[in-house]
Structure 1
Amino acid sequence: MKSALARLLRRGSNGDQSTDDTPQAASETVAKAPAEPRTRFGAWLNRPMTSFHLIIAIAALLTTLGLIMVLSASGVRSYDDDGSAWTIFGRQVLWTIVGLGACYLALRLPVRFMRRMAFTGFATTIVMLVLVLIPGIGKEANGSRGWFVIAGFSMQPSELTKIAFAIWGAHLLAARRMERATLREMLIPLVPAAVIALALIVAQPDLGQTVSLSIILLGLLWYAGLPLRVFLSSLFAAIVAGAILAVSAGYRSDRVRSWLDPGQDPQDSGYQARQAKYALANGGVFGDGLGQGTAKWNYLPNAHNDFIFAIIGEELGLVGALGLLALFGLFAYTGMRIARRSADPFLRLLTATTTMWVIGQSFINVGYVIGLLPVTGIQLPLISAGGTSTATTLLMIGMMANAARHEPEAVAALRAGRDDRMNRILRLPLPAPYTPTRVEALRDRLRSQRQPAKPSKPPRPADRKADRRSSRSASKGQAGGRHHGGAQQRYPGRHGRGRGRVLEGQRYG
């Protein structure tokens, strides 16, 4: 049966019926044939544009769920502050529209343009961090001076700093070729620039944004191939610095104490965390119903923002909370899939770091809502009310989708004219295949020239004996070939053809 299948394959490919029909040749032909997926889902995963469709669908689901939950959780707060239940939701919708525009722009941006403007963007955000600390320019809210207020809309420059630092850091490490860069090239100037940005954010002060930027820095260093001992040392230093910041201010130290001992001050520092647990308990398995929660009626502070996961657990129950976590898990899978399949080291590093950043923020937010971590004020990406956070997250997702379109298989499919409905609807330009820049190619060439040749090891006694045996057998084969015509000359079968191909590859390869 295998030989018949092999004959059919050969006839269908070149029409030659005089080829070798031995069972061994048939098995080799069957083994070389690409394995087809057994299910439709497996076939769909193997399609060139699957990563692009996945990231777009996940972003759409998270954004829609976030708008619904912000509307449900913010109505009471909006009515108390402005007399309208739609104020916070309206601002969130406007910022979402801005974020969708930024996402579309990131989808169309050429990769070389992003890399060219990386340092300029990061330097601009550093200037904005300095300006926001000046009284009269930056606005103070909740004990932190970290907002610009323009025409009633507030904007956090620290959110833009995280994006600019991720892009510039990925560009810097990719230009230095992560797998070949020295430790000095990986740490300088990336770490000093991060220290400057972190110091300006700590001066606001904003512990949540400090933790987020630290996650991005650690993600860049980890995926760039930093040695494990250096990475663990950096992680330990970040944890120590976070602990010092946590106890340096009165309200932060109160949060840590209430986390360590929830019953110490249940009406003051521990009130918010305790009310969040009550909301989760009230939801049960299936929840009280969308819009039917009671914690948002001024029982749970910041119900629409930092603690919106508690409202999700109360109104949608355990099923809804686990469904949201499953969406973030699918986001993590898709992000790492894009990073693994990318040929461009810049896109690979940027996508992996962005995935780690979004998942890290989600883990911390859910962790302090359910009581596993102290309250840090980090928002739940795309779900919590926060205009700048939503817009910047959508911008980064647009860059991830752009990286998905630049996967080698996706580039080949789109440039070959294969129709993709999503690309046609969005009118996206054709992606360009990855080619290293001149600077990267020159650096690689110089680095390869500087590397000294490895000294050859002296042969071991066993290797000498094996060489003597092989030389004897070779001399016998040559003698047989001279006196009797040689087996390879008399029977130019499959082995003779294979040896000829090997020699040809050695000569021309």
Structure 2
Amino acid sequence: MTVGAPARPKFEPHKKFGAWLGRPMTSFHLIISVAALLVTLGLTMVLSASGVHSYDEDGSPWTIFARQVMWTCLGLFACWVALRLPVRFLRRTAFSAFALTIVLITLVLIPGIGHEANGSRGWFVFAGLSMQPSELTKIAFAIWGSHLLATRRMERASLKEMLIPLLPAAVIALALIVAQPDLGQTVSLGIILLALLWFAGLPLKVFVSSLGAVVAAAAVLAVSAGYRSDRVRSWLDPSADAQGSGYQARQAKFALANGGVFGDGLGQGTAKWNYLPNAHNDFIFAIIGEELGFVGAFGLLALFGLFAYTGMRIARRSADPFLRLLTATATMWVIGQVFINVGYVIGLLPVTGIQLPLISAGGTSTATTLFMIGLMANAARHEPEAVAALRAGRDDKMNRLLRLPLPEPYVPTRVEALRDRLRSGSPEPAKKTTRKPARKSTRNPEPARSRAALPAKTRTAKRPTRRAGHHGGASRQDYPDGAQRYGQPAGGPARRPRTLEGQRYG
């Protein structure tokens, strides 16, 4: 090294990665990127897994894939709409949307209106396209429940006032879904209810009792029909009916075993040749394991792990209690479905029919999941640092490409503002007007003479003049209550993190 030459900076990737994580728009870019990767992988695997079944049903290997592409495009549009929705509009229409979905899942039970498939009357069919209204019920319940609990938590409502609107509404929705009957949707709605109770910070006894009620309802539903009870028995004893109720789970394990570490290659799997029923839907994870191997299956689970991290990151960094609760609940909803689907494919759980989000072939499920991801990305844009960066004019290519409006900063309610002042320990009003003796002695260096004894000109010269601030505004030192004019309580700290008491994240 030449003497006197400046030393080269060390390459420290962990510091650069930490700096990237600290950027204002990192959460937004992460959630969009993970969703794009999952959608791309899902469409690829649906095309690979559905070709044979689609050809047997319709004479074309593209039918199921084309339908999935159509629903994905609809879901991407719904995601874009969710990105543009104002938070106030979401909260204002939350209950109306939930009530509308209750009407829909009631209508679907009427013969002639609802369509029955696989022993469940839970679909509307229009022009050959099926729509499952219970998926809409889950989204509406998550939004309304988050709004209700966040509002009443801020108002310090009693436990009864927080649970009375929420639990009866959940019981009504669960009863209507059980009447279809649909075990998978019942479990999904139960996950949303439990996530709301947990992240809202309600007492543990309420959470445990609700968990017991959901498990009991799922157990009753699991043994209420013959084919579901057969699935439970085949899970408890896989060799009892290997060619009957246990055939599907057994073939899924064979497909995973055939894949090995690196898989047979994309499109080269054999389980989809009518050896594994519903290979493109409930058991698509087995096809991923067979064609992409352990590496591909682990990569998919790592993507969902990154999705979970990003969702909880957004929840922690959000200032709005409603967005915190909604984002955490949506994250647990998606990850809960992943856990159950992968669990019954590998044999750890009984088969429930829950799809793998964004991967399985299912139109309504894909569209509603993308809408919920759009709400999560909207919450990421409303993080305090992101709001400040975007409203300060910092360029963001993704926001410019999607033509998204500027996010509105979070304004706390009057109750929360009062609680902030109490926490900050603001001084009493009398202390604001007291002047320190040292400042008096500095302004009047002759303590022996009173100020009244000075000549008039001297008094005029000694009077401090008010200086004009930038653009005609006054400076902070010119006001006794200058701290309040700058958005913080007088004598309080410069910045205080807004946290919701009793909430749990991660």
* Aligned-pair CA distance for 1:179: 8.7
Q: Which residue type is aligned with residue 256 of structure 1?
A: V
Pick from 326, 346, 369: which aligns with 2:322? 346
1:138-217, aligned counterparts within 5 Å? Answer: 138-177=114-153, 180-217=156-193
- Equivalence for 1:285: 261
- Equivalence for 1:13: none
1 CA distance for matches of 2:289 and 2:313?
29
* Aligned-pair CA distance for 1:177: 2.2
2 CA distance for matches of 1:339 and 1:213?
20
**Structure 2 residue 371 is matched with structure 1 residue 398:** no
* Aligned-pair CA distance for 1:445: 6.2
1 CA distance for matches of 2:397 and 2:161?
43
Pick from 99, 117, 137: which aligns with 1:123? 99
Contact 1:37 1:43 in 2 (8 A): no
Question: SS of the residue aligned with 1:113?
Answer: helix
Q: Deviations over 1:266-287 (max 9, x none)?
A: 0110000000000000000000
In the TM superposition, structure 1's runs of 4+ consecutive aligned residues that sit over 6 Å from their partners are 443-446, 504-507
1 CA distance for matches of 2:238 and 2:490?
75
Alpha carbons of structure 1 residues 507 and 340: separation in structure 2 relative to 1, 3 Å:
closer
Pick from 84, 87, 90: which aligns with 2:66? 90
- Equivalence for 2:458: none
1:250-399, aligned counterparts within 5 Å? Answer: 250-399=226-375
Pick from 136, 147, 151: which aligns with 2:112? 136
Q: Deviations over 1:432-478 (max 9, x none)?
A: 00013xxx5359869x99xxxxxxxxxxxxxxxxxxxxxxxxxxxxx
Question: SS of the residue aligned with 2:116?
Answer: strand
Q: Could you list the runs of 5+ residues in structure 1 that have no partner in the other structure?
A: 1-35, 450-503
Question: SS of the residue aligned with 1:135?
Answer: coil
Q: Which residue type is aligned with residue 350 of structure 2?
A: P
Q: Which residue type is aligned with residue 441 of structure 1?
A: R
- Equivalence for 2:394: 418
1:1-40, aligned counterparts within 5 Å? Answer: 39-40=15-16
Q: Could you list the runs of 5+ residues in structure 2 that have no partner in the other structure?
A: 1-11, 423-481, 484-488, 493-506
- Equivalence for 2:83: 107
Q: Deviations over 1:44-102 (max 9, x none)?
A: 00000000000000000000000000000000000000000000000000000000000
2 CA distance for matches of 1:67 and 1:270?
28
1 CA distance for matches of 2:339 and 2:323?
24
- Equivalence for 1:46: 22
Q: Which residue type is aligned with residue 198 of structure 2?
A: W
Alpha carbons of structure 1 residues 195 and 308: separation in structure 2 relative to 1, 3 Å:
same
Question: SS of the residue aligned with 2:153?
Answer: coil
Question: SS of the residue aligned with 2:121?
Answer: strand
* Aligned-pair CA distance for 1:38: 5.8
Pick from 409, 427, 437: which aligns with 1:433? 409
Which has the larger share of helix?
Answer: 1
Alpha carbons of structure 1 residues 43 and 445: separation in structure 2 relative to 1, 3 Å:
closer
Pick from 26, 29, 50: which aligns with 1:74? 50
Question: SS of the residue aligned with 2:95?
Answer: helix
- Equivalence for 1:231: 207
2 CA distance for matches of 1:374 and 1:248?
15
Q: Which residue type is aligned with residue 302 of structure 2?
A: A
* Aligned-pair CA distance for 1:43: 0.6
2 CA distance for matches of 1:507 and 1:74?
65
Contact 1:178 1:225 in 2 (8 A): no
- Equivalence for 1:494: none
Q: Deviations over 1:321-372 (max 9, x none)?
A: 0000000000000000000000000000000000000000000000000000
2 CA distance for matches of 1:415 and 1:77?
51
1 CA distance for matches of 2:35 and 2:173?
28
Q: Which residue type is aligned with residue 408 of structure 1?
A: P
Contact 1:306 1:365 in 2 (8 A): yes
* Aligned-pair CA distance for 1:507: 8.6
Contact 2:155 2:415 in 1 (8 A): no
Alpha carbons of structure 1 residues 290 and 49: separation in structure 2 relative to 1, 3 Å:
same
Q: Deviations over 1:130-184 (max 9, x none)?
A: 1100111100000000000011110000000000000000011111126934211
**Number of residue pairs matched by the alignment:** 417
Alpha carbons of structure 1 residues 507 and 209: separation in structure 2 relative to 1, 3 Å:
closer
Alpha carbons of structure 1 residues 443 and 428: separation in structure 2 relative to 1, 3 Å:
closer
Q: Deviations over 1:398-453 (max 9, x none)?
A: 000000000000000000111111111111100000013xxx5359869x99xxxx
Alpha carbons of structure 1 residues 179 and 310: separation in structure 2 relative to 1, 3 Å:
farther
Question: SS of the residue aligned with 1:189?
Answer: helix
2 CA distance for matches of 1:338 and 1:295?
39
Question: SS of the residue aligned with 1:374?
Answer: coil
1 CA distance for matches of 2:238 and 2:374?
41
Q: Deviations over 1:478-503 (max 9, x none)?
A: xxxxxxxxxxxxxxxxxxxxxxxxxx
TM-score after normalising by structure 2: 0.80
2 CA distance for matches of 1:347 and 1:259?
39
Contact 2:154 2:416 in 1 (8 A): no
Question: SS of the residue aligned with 2:218?
Answer: helix
2 CA distance for matches of 1:158 and 1:258?
28
Contact 1:149 1:155 in 2 (8 A): yes
